[in-house]
Structure 1
Amino acid sequence: MIQNDIIRLIVIEESANDAEVILNSLRKARYPIRPTHVEDDEDLATALNEHEWDLIIAVPVVGELTAEQVCEMVQQAKLDIPVIVLMSKMDNKMMALLYQAGVRNVLPNNNDVALQSVVGLELENLAERRRRKHLEQLYRESQRHNIMLLQSSRDAIAYVHDGMHIHANPSYLEMFGYKTMDDLEGMPVMDLVSLEDQPKFKDFMREYMMEDKEEEQEISLEGVKSNNKRFKLKMEVSKAIYDSERCIQIVIRDQSQNQELERQLREVSRRDLLTNLFNRQYFIAILEKALAKVMESNVRSILLYVVLDILENNRENLGVSADPLLRNVAAILGKLGEHATVARFGDNVFTLLLLDKDIPYATQLAETICKKVEATVTELGTQSVITTCSIGIAPVMASSGSVHDVLADAHTACRKVLQRGGNGHEVYKAVVKTSEQGGTGSRDIAKMIETAIEENRFSLRYQPVVSLHGGTLPIYEVFLRMTDSEGQFVPAGQLFAAAEEANLTIHLDKWVLKESFKVLMKEQQENKHTTFLVKLTDQALKDENVLLFIRRLLKSTQLPGERLVFEISEAVAISQVKLAKAFITTVNTMGCKTALEHFGTELNSSSTLKHIPVDYVKIDSSFSRGLSANPDNQKAVQEITKLAHDSGKQTIAEAVEDVNSLTVLWQCGVDFAQGNYIQSPLEEPSYHFEDEE
């Protein structure tokens, strides 16, 4: 929360003197507070009904009022007010109950530093939730406005998905002679075109989809009404989103109206009356198209969220209309944004959408905007006004999910600039949050994945796989690592789970393959016959492009295929036998080998090897941990090793953590081993395999 904002605070304490101690702590940190002291549930109920509050600080019990009851009253009132509890003696059981009840933080009493820090964090989080809620309201308002315009439009408008109608407005229904949408829903749009024009319409739509055109395309056709009466029409098609689903919008203009007048009216409906920039509703529609484009073709755009600092903080002190100032800034943005869609998004907010541009271009443009705005003097009444601006920058990515998410990201970045005093720009970057902050959402991680290559946040780690029975050829398993914008590693489990949810796993596979080939090329130039074990994601089995990518890399680098062993999990292989066998057969023709990882975890692993022709079997880590003290696991390892050897396959034990387990593996006849006891993953493939003889 910005330091100048008044913080409305409820303090629940035994006495006013005790409450004053808490307030003094916050005043020392220069929090501008407007507090009230509450001692019972009646006082709290009255306070919650009379005012809006930002924060509640309470002790566990005051009289008969408990902190759990405080949370319950806040929840029943459907209010978003963080509750912080101060305890004289920290008790784990009590803390657990408080967190379950909805308390945000539990702190030791008389710890001013902790209180001041947590208050700041909770206020920031509250401000962000409120901003997000505001943006959601704006979005819903725009959606309602668009629906009203659709329903009242004299143009016949319909939305089509996979060739079928999913919605049509009253004008469209009337034009083709249908009473309700129930009569039209699910009907192919082709049925509304005469038989003679259907081939022409098919060719038109095929060309439109194949060329991935964003602008509206027009075609003249002969239409067919429900009574089989024919008529001439001119149809416009464009890509759109209806009910969160990507589809095609069809618009048939009413030819009886003056077309030029209709065009002018459409243009006016898109514009802000004061600045003549695009308005919020039209900008959201353009942003939706940009989001659909990145989902379909991976072409990213950039959103700039521009706030005028003087109107954000001191609008009431101007004493005059700020319209001339807004027009001046609009003129600056309109000239600078020649490759952008520029809109007045709110009272003192402008937005720019840069199509098919990158972050460096956006930051350079933002810097130019800041300089131009600061250099502009506006006469407001009898005073000259100079303002600066704060700009949040956010990429429009496939993992954004919705228009609202993109706007929220840009808004968050803009608030960071405002907190620094304004007059600057900030790029939104998702970071890995600590457990105290609630953890990082999969959508944030997916956003990191999409920007990781250009921001150089991907890297590989190499864990040696050593022979237990002689042999010094260098073999490593390759692991992918990713850091956030602050250099913190994203846990691998979260990384791949988020990638799968956002359909980005192939993105990771291709980067790992490309970098692995680079390193193997370097190893070969140094006369090292290094082999890499590369784990591919489950989606790779289903995507033929991955096999083509591998083939191209082998051809361009001239590396022998035997330098690569591709790992697939037993669970995926046994559930997708045909795909797994086809994948293995194809990479074998390239000279590459394969391994079955997590082996031994399925119900009938013995039958797996009969169907899946891999070269290596990787014994699941659950068998290796504490192996020397677990007779059942020892027996299982022996059986897996014999089964693999009988099938002509070599075995690899992973996750070896102690010397005793290593000895047991050797006695069981396991061929290779890897684990942190031998060597934790390295930044470079630099392990001395000769030392293992």
Structure 2
Amino acid sequence: METLKEALILLVDDNSKNLQILGHLLAKQYKTAFARDGQKALEFVQRIHPDLILLDVMMPSMSGFEVCAQLKSCPKTQNIPIIFLTAKTETEDMVKGFELGAVDYVTKPFRKEELLARVQTHIRLKRAEDLLKQGLTEAQRLAHMGSWIWDIQQNTLTCSDEAYQLFGLARHEFDVTTETFIAAVHPEDREFVRQSVKQALSKQSPYNIEHRIVLPGAGERIVHERAEVIFDEAGNPVRMLGTIQDITERKQLEIELKKLSRIIEESINFVFITDAEGTIEYVNPTFERFTGYTRDEIIGQNPRILNSGEASRYFYEDLWKTITSGKTWSGDFKNRKKNGEFYWVKGLISPIKNEKDQITHFLAIQEDISEKILAQQQARYLATYDRTTGLLNREKFIEALNEYISQGDSGILILTDIDGFKIINEVYGHNMADEFLTHLSKIVIKTIVELYGKNQTILGRLGEDEIAAAILDISGKKGWEIAEHIRKTVESVTFTDEAIRTTLSAGIIEFPKHGLTTQEVLSRVDAAVYRAKEPGKNRCHLFLPEDRDIENIHSQFRQKERIIRALENDRLTPWFQPILNLHDQQIHHYESLARMYDETGNIILPGSFIRPAEEIGLINAIDRRIIQQVIDYQAKYKQQGQNLSFTMNISGKHVGDEQFLDFLSTTIEQSGADPQKLIFEITETAAVRDLEQAIKFITALKELGCRFALDDFGVGFTSFVYLKEMHVDFIKIDGFFIRRLHEHRYNQGIVRAMTAVAKEMEIKTIAEFVECEETMRLLKPLGVDYAQGFLIGKPAPQPTFICNYKDFS
């Protein structure tokens, strides 16, 4: 049997980009072929039968529905599985697709894992059904059997018409003798046949053998031969009577069935077969291992023995109605093992019919997706809660706090910070530190419940060693009492067998008394924690107005510490936003945008850390870290045959920095990246601030083979005077002119002027912040070369070849 990698999938779509994406996705596991329209697809299938067809619905001249109808009307192609792949989501379209004979219907945009799983399942199911159908057909075919008589004394051989036909001979053209019979036996089997005949004559016993015969011209058959010898009264052999039957097909079937049986027996999926009433007749070893039921225990049972009890009666009624009507059912189950443990499967159930088109059995193939389901549930959980403590994560806590504050609620915010948590981490390890945090969270919860109650309280983990509690309708004094109780409890507790003891410091702030916005409240409770630690830690401090000076100093200190930790722990990474070429509607390059992750995995946008990094002298380290990764990305994609371009932002502080230029030169050379595909950009204002240094810097980069872009162009419109001297390759028109371009004719005139001057200087223009279709339609007529913005695609951790936009050309 062919492996899945040998399976051929025909991809039919009038969009070459879609074909490229699908081909790239499937090429690692399957052979692929492409057709740009329905007619080419039909022509291809007449020549070569694919194992499966992925068919777009909406195509010019001939729709996917029409293609499907023609394929299903032709006996030669009607059994090829067809999966519709389309952006249409209307129920009537899906129903129509299934009525035409499609096996599945996948909507765009599709999920990679889902599409691969569906393709694999349908190819496996089709092959299994083909083998089962072939086995049933071959097993039910009537045997073709000939007879012969050998007159031993006269040495003549008489054969029936069926025997002649079996040997591929015509009676009137050929006389069969024992010599010609032996000559027709396969050379490797002749001695075996001679010895069998000799043994029958000498031992006066019948023989029952299988051997091969060679047909005239070419080809061979496997035959089953039975014979017995007739003796006279003196014990001399008189004649031999025999039959010969063509068992070639049976033998081939046995081989195929052995292969199929081995595949099913060794399959990583659960396979079981029931009779028409649903009684289990067969299960494969994987089913036994996974469910815990042995074959003896499960055969004779109904699959409902696996029922988790959570699915509704209507779910199973719909399933049974589908399969008893002769259709294949597919879907997800939550089942229960023998030991009571739950598991999830993605299943296919197909009816097996006899020659009278009557359902005799059902074949079920199920794939364990428990880990996938648990991962999805875990992802949903972690989107809201902290993995270690079970409290709200930073993002969700701030959302909830912001809701309190925006509604005008009053209350207090307590922020606890463990004194010496870093030492616990280093001495006892992360696991012990996590256990300590979990224990602390329980102390916080218990204290609040005892002193205040459960209502109108939110708790969350804000940082590595920070737990916060927002409590409504209590005073700062009461909040301080709660915090002090928590502090004393922690101080008095010995944690685990390691006898760990530590203390904590806590800050308390009243809102809205000391903060009208969430940002103010968080910043000032930080300052309160800092003030609590200042005299020697292990204290609680209620925020006072005079703490605002320390708030500013502490805020800057925390920002610096946060950025340094992110650099040390590789939590700075580039995300990529596609830039669309408006002339060919293709993505030519991507802008690389810095992203930072906090300790709990939440994304921090550059607006929160780039400016502080410039102020405290860390921007050089950030730029180097991001640029290094982007250049490595370009080199990697180049090796894979995708020579993509990447734009990288650099701070104006690097202009004139010889060491930074040396870093770029060394990194590009060592990585093997294509410098022509590396585009560096600084803002227009940074370039004009020191034009002479900017020109030298740009010239040095271009000598390396790189290209250059001016960002936020248009804010200082007079800088057109300097463009010619700077020799930039791109200007990025500031979003101020682009965001509402369709509403302001004045801005349209400015953009038209920019593009006209840029074209004279052979400079390409990029419109930033393209967020609506109305703006998109204006760009090309105004002379803009490229577009970038959420309408094209949002920043993502990996370059994406799928855009959000329609073709507005």
TM-score bracket, shorter-length normalisation: 0.3 to 0.5
Q: Based on CA coordinates, which of the two structures has the bigger radius of gyration?
A: 2
Could you tell me the TM-score, scaled by structure 2's length? 0.35
Could you tell me the TM-score, scaled by structure 1's length? 0.40
Structure with more relative contact order (C-alpha pairs < 8 Å, separation 6 or more): 1
